[in-house]
Structure formats: C-alpha cells, structure tokens
A and B are shown apart, each in its own frame.
Chain A
C-alpha cells in the first residue's frame, strides 16, 4: 500500500501532508512525498528548503511510518512528477492540497491539482488549508 503526497511549503501543502500522514497510518502504508521544481528559475519558493525536509523526516519517523522523500529537479511540472511517482509506486491514494479560488480565478489559472485529478489512475484526496 502506498500514499503519494504532493508537498509544497505552503499552508495547502502542510494540510495535504498532515492528511496524508493520517491516511498512511490508517492503512499502514508507505508514504511517498514529492516536492519538485522545474529548476528553471534561480529561485523557487515552492521547492522546500533542506531544513524543512529534515523537519518533515523527523516528523514522519516519529509517527513510525515508512516513508520516501523525492525531490526531483528535471524540468517536469509538479503534476507530472506526482503522477509519475503514483504510477511508479502503484499508489492507492494521492493526496494534494488545493488553493481556495473563485471560479474566475480557476478559469484563468491553470492548475497542478486539476491535472492530477483528471489524469490520476487512483483515488485522489484533495485537501484545503484551514481558514
């Protein structure tokens, strides 16, 4: 059993991670955390810092779940990286964080979440950050 979570260092990403930990413990499954960047800009705030990743590792180890942290930088967008990982690890569940958006905002902005929802072969759990 595997749970794949797409993580970004934002409230939405934190919410997704918390939910994913709950799911992984419930089903006693492996947690695969994806935090990717296209690596095209000199600075990418959605790519977690080394310190953050260490904190997460400690947190996961403390919860006693099997985990795998992947931080690919190979020019693919985040949706492709999450879908890739889900396929590779035969994921039973993908957990993602959603931003709150108005319908118009959704129309203008493309979204990683939407692509994962449309293309994933397994159930996708979408979480919002608490207000």
Chain B
C-alpha cells in the first residue's frame, strides 16, 4: 500500500495548477519535436536545461517527462504520414503505417498508434511504479564493485548492441569517456586533460556538452544538407477506428507492451529492438498475414505500443539505479545532477516527493497526449511545412543562450562550438551519439565507483570481483563482447538472410 499512497501524493503534487501547466507545455513541445524529423526529446531537454534552472526541480522534471513521452507519440505521426520516421523508435511503424496511409487508412493508423501508445504508456508507467521500488530495495544492497560492473555493462551494451557498427560505437564511447575525464581528479586533485587552461579545471559542464552534441551538431549537420527534395505528407482527417480495427489492435497493444517494458528496463534495451520484435511477432501471429507489407494495422499497433512501454521501462533503471539507457534519460540524469540531486538508489528515499510526482505526471502526460494527438493529428502534420532554416536558427540561438547562461562564461561558447563541430563530424562519419553522451555522464560516476572499490580493497584489482553479482555481470559482458565472433563461426556455412527492415528507413539513430 506504500506505493499506492506515495503515488497518490505524487498525483496531488503533479495536479497543482503550475505543475499541470508544465505537463501541458511538456507534452505539446514533446509532440512537436517528435513530429519533426531530426529533432528529438533529448535535444529538447538539453536545450531547456538552462532555461529551467529557475524552476522548481519537480516542475522541470514533469515538463521533461512530458517531452519524453510526447516524442514517442509524435514520432509515429511522421512515420505514418511521411514514411520518414521522426524518431528511431518509430522506424518499424513506418513499414506498415505508411502503407496503410497510402491505402487511405491513415486515420486508422494514427488512431491505433495513439491509443496503443496510451495503453502501453499507462501500463508501462504502472509497471514502473511497481517495479522501481523493488529494484531500489535490491539495489541498496549492492556495493561499489557491483555498481561498477552494472555501469560497465550498460555502457558496453549500449555501445555494442545498438547501432550498426561496433567500432564506431566504441570510438564514440571513447570520446565520451575522454570528455568526461576533463577537469580535476576528485581524489588526488590532479588536473587531467586541461591543457593548462584554468577554466577547464572544473570539467566541462554537462549541459554545454549535451547542447553542443545534440543541438549544435544536429543544426550544423542539417545546414550542410539543407536542401532535400520535399516529401508529400498524406492528407488525413480526424483519426478514428472501426470495430474491426479495435478487434485487431488490442492484442498487439498488449503484446507490444510486454515486449517493450522489459527491454526498456534492461541496460541497453532501447526502444528499437522491442519494436522490431513486436513487428515480427505480429506478422507471425496475424490472421491476415497477407496484409503485412500492404498496411496491416497489427504492424502499427504492436510496435507503437512497444516503443511507449519501452519509454516507461527506460525510466526504471534511470530512477531506481541512476542508470540511463537512452539519450533522453541520460540528459534527464544530467538534469538531476545540475539541480544538486544525487541520482541512484537513494533517490526514492531522499527525493521521494519529486520521484512520485514525476511518475504521477507520466500518467497525466499520457492522458494529455492522447487528448492532443487524436483530434489534432492533422495540425501536427502541418508542422512539417516549417522551413528548416528558421527552425534551426532558433535552435542555435537557444543553444548559444543556454550554454552561456550556465556559467556566464564566454569560454563555454568556445567549448560549445568545438563540441558542436565534433557532433557534426560524428554525424558525418556515422558515429552514434548515444555512447558519447552516456560516456560523458556515466564516466565520472563509473570512475567514482571504481575508485571506491579499489580503495576498499587497498588497490587490489581482485576487489572488483568481490561480489557475486559483479562476477555474474562480468560473465554477461563477456558474452555480449564475444557474441558476434561466436555468431560468425556459427553462421559460416549458412547463407545470410535478408534484413526485415528496409535499408532506406533512414531514421537517424542519434535522435532518440
């Protein structure tokens, strides 16, 4: 009953007029950036970080949560109407969704996506409310060696499992860890990677790094590819569903939720794998397999539910362990730090009111999203007519303003531009951005746990293996790292089969 009463307290906080207003702002902004390809919730939260310094942390997080969920809803609109996924997690939605829209069933596709997202989001949030305290109970018993192992697992898994190229993933992770190292060593006070520059002694501000990589890097990248042949959005009226659509949708919604939540909650789950699994499952179980590839509603309902459930799942390790597994969660974690709140298992204890208000606001946000997405879908599609130069000029302006306002130092603008150029080059050479941002955010915390472990064991590396959970996790890490080699051996005398997702579903895998 403890969870229940805490959650009710959360609702009481989240429903105060001010917080409710921020929830509305959050979901509207989130849907907008979700609809626009290339803009994602991670970039938006990063841009808003400096702006929200003046707010109550609770209000700020309620807004961020709205943006996060809203991005998931908005992404599907673009996928269905334009065949260009707004977010990487809605790549799979585009396969069937766009076919449905072309066949004149855009309204049904949008409806099943929005209602499915609502169902999955609500169930996922409920699971989050139930699971997170359990994970916390388990987590407080963990010592530094286990923590270190879990964080290493998260970093390696995100790097090695997601994304197309491991080499590029690890290159990006290395860059991130290096950026995270800049500044004064917390134990010995030595200066690392400061190049004699006193302004670097405090390290790079995470807000500046996030804004540079997400906003400036993306803006430069778009500026370099400004002119693209315009696409045609399929015109759509009010989304609605007939009786048979409901009948065919509800099971995929529930199955999608079942895929999405656990994958989201795992370190390195992400939303892409469960959406794909859900698609394949629906294809196999469908009573209308002949419709797949021509616009089957199950192929929209399942993956859309999966990505929203995964979004809720991702918040479980973020809130319970302080372990982000996607870019938005990583930036939200950085936001905790910048409010002086220590993320980790003690968060539920020390900031209980904030956490429960956040979870309650997720329920509210979900309902709001359903309300603004169902009747207003045609209006959201209009956003796609926005000329990119205006949009990105605005983003650059906010990025610069934000980076300067963090410390009121002109030097931060130099860092912003340098890292923005780095973000641009990474996109140019296909390096994923997520490992970098996780490296920057988790790097110092990993180092802290490593130092603690080694101090406890008086410098003996064997201390890293002193807890059974840690050993178990290292085994998993070993499997993840060796898996591709084993797979290659296994597959040597088998013909490769074709990928199920068409190669042209060009969602940028950094926009998540």
Contact = CB atoms under 8 A, between A and B. Distances in A.
Interface stretch (A36-44, A61-69, A81-89, A121-129): A36-44
A42 B227 contact: no
B28 interface: no
Interface string B219-239: 000000011111111000000
Interface stretch (B159-167, B317-325, B382-390): B382-390
A70 interface: no
B84 interface: yes
A101 to B, nearest CB: 20
A39 B227 contact: yes
A44 B232 CA distance: 7
Given A40-B388, A41-B384, A42-B84, A73 B228 contact: yes
B328 to A, nearest CB: 22
A45 interface: yes
Nearest to B389: A40
Nearest to B36: A42
B231 A38 contact: no
A46 to B, nearest CB: 9
B226 A37 contact: no
Contacts of B381: 43
B227 A44 contact: no
B127 to A, nearest CB: 35
Nearest to B235: A45
A40 B387 contact: yes
A40 B232 CA distance: 13
A49 B389 contact: no
Contacts of B233: 43, 45
Interface string A33-63: 0000111111111010100000000000000
Contacts of A74: 227
A43 B82 CA distance: 8
B423 interface: no
A13 B389 CA distance: 27
Interface string A77-102: 00000000000000000000000000
B232 A37 contact: no
A119 B250 CA distance: 60
Interface in B119-135: none
Most A-side CB within 10 Å, residue of B84, B227, B381: B227
Given A41-B384, A41-B386, A42-B37, A49 B227 contact: no
Chain A residues touching B, majority SS: loop
A107 B84 CA distance: 37
A43 B226 contact: no
B229 A42 contact: no
B227 A47 contact: no
Nearest to B229: A73
A45 B226 contact: no
Contacts of A75: 226-227
Most A-side CB within 10 Å, residue of B36, B381, B388: B388
B384 A37 contact: no
Nearest to B84: A42
Nearest to B35: A42
B232 A49 contact: yes
Nearest to A9: B232
Contacts of A73: 227-230
Contacts of B389: 40
A10 B233 CA distance: 16
A75 B84 CA distance: 21
B37 A38 contact: no
A44 B386 CA distance: 9
B384 A40 contact: no
Contacts of A39: 226-230
B291 to A, nearest CB: 24
B61 to A, nearest CB: 30
Contacts of A38: 227, 387
Contacts of B228: 39, 42, 73
Contact of A44 (B36, B84, B226, B385): B385
Nearest to A46: B230
Nearest to A44: B230
A47 B230 contact: yes
B230 A41 contact: yes
B226 A40 contact: yes
Interface in B19-40: 36-37
A129 to B, nearest CB: 20
A45 B385 contact: yes
A110 to B, nearest CB: 15
Contacts of B232: 43, 45, 47, 49
Interface in B210-266: 226-233
A43 B227 contact: no
Given A74-B227, A75-B226, A41 B388 contact: yes
B385 A43 contact: yes
A47 B387 CA distance: 14
Nearest to A47: B230
15 contacts: A39-B229, A40-B388, A40-B389, A41-B385, A41-B386, A42-B230, A42-B231, A43-B82, A43-B230, A43-B231, A43-B385, A44-B385, A47-B232, A73-B228, A73-B229
Given A47-B232, A73-B230, 19 more contacts: A37-B230, A39-B226, A39-B228, A39-B229, A39-B230, A40-B226, A40-B387, A40-B388, A41-B385, A42-B230, A42-B231, A42-B386, A43-B381, A44-B385, A47-B229, A49-B232, A73-B228, A74-B227, A75-B227
Q: Which 6 A-B pairs have the closest CB atoms?
A: A44-B230, A39-B227, A43-B384, A40-B387, A42-B384, A43-B233
Interface of B: 36-37, 82, 84, 226-233, 381, 384-389
